[in-house]
Amino acid sequence: MSTKVIRSKADLAINGAPPAFDQPLHVGRPNIGDREAFLQRVNQILDNQWLTNNGPMVQEFEQRIADYLGVKHCVAMCNGTIALEIAIRALGLEGEVIVPSWTFVATAHALYWQGITPVFADIDPTTHNLNPDAVRRMITPRTSGIIGVHLWGRAAPIDELQAIADERGLKLMFDAAHAFGSTYKGRMIGRFGACEVLSFHATKSFNTFEGGAVVTNDDELAETMRLMRNFGFHGYDNVIHPGTNGKMIEVCAAMGLTNLDGHAEVVACSRRAHATYTQALAGIAGISVLAYDQNEDNSHHYVVLEVSDTCAATRDQIIIALQAENVLARKYFWPGSHRMQPYKDLFPHAGLMLPHTQRIAESVVVLPTGITLSQEAIQTVSDAIRTVASPRS
Ligand code: T4K
């Protein structure tokens, strides 16, 4: 799709040259597996005349995910946010819960939506994950739990957070929306804390169109969440728990089963893309590509740049220049949840406790990835960044 060579600032679309790409290059382009296999499954669903409500595809999907992650239970849901809400409620969280601000806003919203106050703790600027010391500082008598987030699929400091939770009598769960297939100290994410929540949204490395799940080794918790996602029904006409509609539908499970078969290939492709970006962007003053620990598994789905003050261009100048080339890079998760509503009005001074979050939020650029992105396109995107970020000669 791209043929343009960008060698100097004059070649940049921002200076009037034609854009590098005639079609927009998106962050979050879905990875879509074997189309024929998916359509066959859809036909099977139509033949079954069973479209939702814990159908055979969902049951097979749950078993495959549980086996893959090595956990006892996978409770599939309609999306990651509802999965978070159901997990939070099933765990009995209340009062205040400590979360990072540096995450997608769904983590905080899932608490606030249920009348629980999200209390934002700062991150370690090198890992982008919760800093355990910052978590300790935010504990009050009203704190009931901690939600760690494995941002960019890189595991939160699980052992340290578990130690704090044990010491202070708090519940611990994880938002593992980015971490499908990631490991922590060689063990699959999914088994840590009381439970972990996955998102299978279209934009994730592994998707079910929309979807999510809570995975856990806790039998009772899993049973409660199964009730909660289906209005509390236990058999026909028998409601034994308050609940909502959090069910995954059959066609989403069909997508999940298909994409699961192709997931290893997707990860290999993302790993290559990440390596190509890293190489192509090496040596630009003030720009670094977030690295993944080679001793751990990670989907390599996110290519995250940090633009520091020593770069010849600001983060926003890079984003604008890329947009002119039709490269729709994103500032995830700018400006940070604490500066989004309602938290901005509720906690106007939260930023005082979040210096690293605020600095990182000003410096991040997330670049397009996905199985349809060619190596040539990655090179062109990188050339554009190098040109914008080079000092004027
Ligand atoms: N926790 C964390 C840490 C999360 O990152 C998320 C979701 C959640 C919890 C909640 O899980 P879910 O309830 O969503 O399952 C997107 C996604 O909607 C969201 O799932 C994701 N995180 C977040 C990081 O990104 P937006 O508001 O940025 O979406 P949007 O519409 O701007 O699309 C993103 C990009 O993807 C665009 O460049 C367009 C492209 N795209 C999108 C879709 C849906 C496509 O090319 N094709 C598509 O089908 O939130």
Computed over every residue of the chain, the mean pLDDT equals 97
Where does residue 238 fall: left (phi above 0), alpha (psi -120 to 50 degrees), or beta otherwise? beta
106 lines ligand 1 (CB under 6 A): yes
Q: Whose CA is nearest to atom 4 of ligand 1?
A: 104
Instruction: Give tens-digit pLDDT for 306-319.
Output: 999 999 999 999 99
Minimal CA–CA distance to 130: which of 353, 295, 302, 307? 353
User: Is the CATH number of domain 9-30+263-329+368-389 3.40.605.10?
Assistant: no
Atom of ligand 1 nearest to the CA of 79: 15
pTM of the model: 0.97
State the CB neighbour count (10 A cutoff) for residue 309: 9
Domain residue ranges of the chain, discontinuous segments joined by +? 9-30+263-329+368-389, 35-261
H, E, C per residue of 247-305: CCCHHHHHHHHHHHHCHHHHHHHHHHHHHHHHHHCCCCCCEEECCCCCCCCCCCCCEEE
Per-residue pLDDT at 3 exceeds 90:
no
Q: Which whole number is the average pLDDT over 295-299?
A: 98
Side-chain-side CA neighbours of 153 within 13 Å: the count stands at 27
Q: Name the band, by pLDDT with cuts 50, 70 and 90, for residue 233.
A: very high
Q: How confident is the model at residue 7 (pLDDT cuts 50, 70, 90)?
A: confident
Other beta carbons within 10 angstroms of residue 44's beta carbon come to 14
pLDDT at residue number 267 = 97
Per-residue pLDDT tens over the stretch 68-115: 999 999 999 999 999 999 999 999 999 999 999 999 999 999 999 999
pLDDT at residue 369 is higher than 90: yes
Measure 379 CA to ligand 1 centroid, in angstroms.
25
Residue 222 scores a pLDDT above 70: yes
Cα R_g (the chain), whole angstroms:
22
Q: Which atom of ligand 1 is nearest to the CA of 28?
A: 36
Give the pLDDT band (50/70/90) at residue 392.
confident
CA of 153 relative to ligand 1 center, distance in Å: 15
> Which atom of ligand 1 is least distant from the CA of 212?
15
Please report which confidence band the pLDDT of residue 1 belongs to, taking 50, 70 and 90 as the band edges: low
Q: Is the CB of 79 under 6 A from ligand 1?
A: yes
Mean pLDDT of 125-139: 98
pLDDT for residue 2 is more than 70: no
Q: Is the CB of 177 under 6 A from ligand 1?
A: yes
CATH code: domain 35-261 is 3.40.640.10
Position in ligand 1 atom list of the atom nearest CA 151: 3
pLDDT at 4: 79
- Sheet strand arrangement including 196-199: 73-77, 212-216, 196-199, 171-175, 143-149, 96-100, 117-121
Cβ of 175 below 6 Å from ligand 1: yes
Confidence at residue 307, expressed as pLDDT on a 0 to 100 scale: 98
pLDDT per position as a tens digit, 10-68: 999 999 999 999 999 999 999 999 999 999 999 999 999 999 999 999 999 999 999 99
**Mean pLDDT score, 256-272:** 97
Query: Lowest mean pLDDT: which of 106-110, 141-145, 389-393?
Result: 389-393
pLDDT at 393 over 70: no
CA of 29 to the centre of ligand 1 (A): 10
Question: For ligand 1, is residue 27 a contact (CB within 6 Å)?
Answer: yes
Residue with CA nearest ligand 1 atom 27 = 104
Q: pLDDT digit string (tens) for 321-361?
A: 999 999 999 999 999 999 999 999 999 999 999 999 999 99
Bridge partners, residue 303, by sequence:
367
Kindly state the percentage of the chain with pLDDT values over 70. 99
In the chain, % of residues over pLDDT 90: 97
